[in-house]
């Protein structure tokens, strides 16, 4: 029997100001968050054959000191062929596990923030160059590999088609996802998120744009959801019951006849029945033909639609940049959590400044207490320094 998803219960363990929705505490299973700010997974393209490096230590270390409620590590592949680029992070063997363990041990000495890991597979978007190298498909003879997908349909016109997965390949991948989940548990990670968005493998199964199979893995919505749901079940079965497991989705392909928010709601309900703890609502990525209408908070309406239809927490993402904007998203009931990515790269102290703007307080390392401006003396809570 699939475990029921527990309700999100605010925690009273933090002295954060209760006047702000953004800085009110939140809980996901056994994980207590002091506020509703989530640091989104952000690919760094800086791993060494899948292994975390000093770059990851510096990147994650600074974000762990930001005062956010949850830090999510970038999309992490379940096998070498599941990477987006040769520089993407992986967790598929003892070597990659040991490297990530070393980074996590150091980061945890800097802050007590809960840390999550996003787990995924690039599918037909794998074997790509790093963005600063052009991002094009890398041929096997040039150091790339043969991408896999639901169907032999390339992402871009003119690309060599990916290899369509057969039954044996699907079974092997389910085991890969479960194995990476077990490794994440051994690393003591607090939560994991399954990546089923942005045109990568599981989104490819969901979307009729990429999934053109005629067997039980394609065609109807039920069939297209089958493999992603089986992957989720395999992960939930080996992930500790007191720890949360969420899913990132693309709510729409931004294409006529593609994956859309109504199908996403059906998928989210099926995930909820299987013990999913949150839905992280993004969009797009399946095709270069997508027609995205950009603007501040442009994906928030999708999050709201899904939140109104499911009984588990929903995370809003996408051009949420200002504290008042993030506060309004939560106050309106559009989402339970907000996630920032590029905004936190631009300003790794965004939660500090948001707390100041909203009259709340935030936890920061003792070493930084003296940076608190005199006119904002309560942003770091009630603190005192010995005199010498």
pLDDT of residue 280: 98
Q: Report pLDDT for 308.
A: 97
What is the rounded average pLDDT of the residues 222-237? Answer: 98
Instruction: Kindly state the average pLDDT of the residues 374-379.
Output: 76
- Which residue in 45, 200, 298, 368 is the catalytic one? 200
Listed residue (337, 253, 262, 340) closest to 296, CA to CA: 340
pLDDT digits (tens, 9 = 90+) for 273-313: 999 999 999 999 999 999 998 999 999 999 999 999 999 99
Q: What is the band of 324 on the pLDDT scale with cuts at 50, 70, 90? A: very high
User: Can you tell me the mean pLDDT for 192-212?
Assistant: 98
Nearest to 136 by CA among 154, 120, 159, 153: 159
Q: Could you read off the pLDDT of 56-75 as tens digits, one per residue? A: 999 999 999 999 999 999 99
Average of per-residue pLDDT across 200-212: 98
Would you say the C-alpha torsion 80, 173, 153, 255 has a positive or negative sign?
negative
Whether 20 has a pLDDT exceeding 60, the answer reads yes
Mean pLDDT of 221-235: 98
> Whole-number mean pLDDT of the chain?
92
What is the distance between the alpha carbons of residues 193 and 277, in angstroms, rounded to a whole number? 9
Average pLDDT over residues 10-30: 70
pLDDT average, residue stretch 227-239 = 98
Quote the DSSP letter at residue 155.
S
Task: Give 333's strand partners.
Answer: none
Which residues does residue 338 pair with via DSSP β-bridges, in sequence order? 37, 316
User: What's the gap between Cα 113 and its chain centre?
Assistant: 16
Residue 320 pLDDT class (50, 70, 90 cuts): very high
Instruction: Write the CB contacts of 387 (distance below 8 Å, at least 6 apart in sequence).
Output: none
pLDDT at 30: 96
Residues contacting 210, CB < 8 A, separation 6+: 123, 124, 149, 150, 151, 153, 155, 199, 203, 204, 286, 287
pLDDT attached to residue 15 = 34
| Catalytic residue list contains 45 | no
The per-residue pLDDT for 382 is 55
**To the nearest whole percent, how much of the chain has pLDDT over 70?**
94
What is the band of 194 on the pLDDT scale with cuts at 50, 70, 90? very high
Among all chains, which residue has been given the structure tokens 């607090």?
A: 190
- 155-172 average pLDDT score: 95
């Amino acid at each position: 029997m699939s475990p029921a998803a527990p309700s999100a219960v605010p925690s009273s363990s933090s002295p954060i100001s209760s006047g702000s929705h953004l800085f009110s505490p939140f809980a996901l299973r056994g994980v207590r968050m002091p506020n509703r700010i989530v640091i989104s997974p952000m690919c760094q393209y800086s791993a060494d054959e899948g292994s975390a490096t000093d770059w990851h230590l510096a990147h994650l270390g600074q974000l762990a000191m930001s005062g956010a409620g949850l830090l999510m590590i970038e999309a992490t592949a379940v096998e070498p062929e599941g990477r987006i680029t040769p520089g993407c992070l992986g967790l598929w063997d003892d070597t990659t596990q040991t490297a990530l363990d070393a980074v996590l041990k150091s980061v945890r000495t800097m802050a007590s923030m809960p840390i999550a890991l996003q787990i995924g597979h690039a599918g037909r978007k794998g074997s790509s160059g790093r963005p600063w190298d052009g991002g094009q498909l890398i041929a096997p003879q040039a150091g790339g590999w043969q991408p896999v997908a639901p169907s032999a349909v390339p992402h871009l016109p003119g690309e060599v088609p990916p290899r369509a997965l057969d039954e044996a390949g699907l079974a092997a991948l389910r085991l890969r996802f479960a194995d990476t989940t077990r490794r994440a548990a051994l690393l003591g990670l607090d939560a994991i998120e399954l990546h089923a968005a942005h045109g990568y493998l599981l989104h490819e199964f969901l979307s009729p744009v990429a999934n053109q199979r005629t067997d039980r893995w394609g065609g109807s919505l039920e069939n297209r959801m089958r493999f992603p749901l089986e992957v989720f079940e395999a992960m939930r079965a080996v992930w500790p019951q007191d720890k949360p497991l969420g899913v990132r989705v693309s709510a729409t392909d931004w294409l006529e006849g593609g994956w859309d928010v109504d199908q996403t709601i059906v998928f989210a309900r099926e995930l909820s029945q299987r013990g999913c703890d949150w839905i992280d609502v993004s969009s797009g990525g399946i095709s270069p033909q997508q027609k995205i209408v950009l603007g501040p908070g442009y994906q928030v309406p999708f999050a709201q639609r899904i939140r109104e239809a499911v009984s588990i927490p929903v995370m809003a993402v996408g051009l949420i940049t200002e504290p008042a904007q993030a506060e309004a998203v939560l106050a309106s009931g559009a989402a339970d959590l907000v996630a920032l990515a590029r905004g936190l790269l631009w300003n790794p102290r965004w939660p500090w400044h948001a707390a100041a703007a909203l009259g709340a307080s935030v936890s920061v390392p003792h070493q930084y207490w003296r940076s608190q401006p005199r006119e904002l003396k309560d942003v770091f809570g009630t603190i005192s320094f010995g005199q010498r």
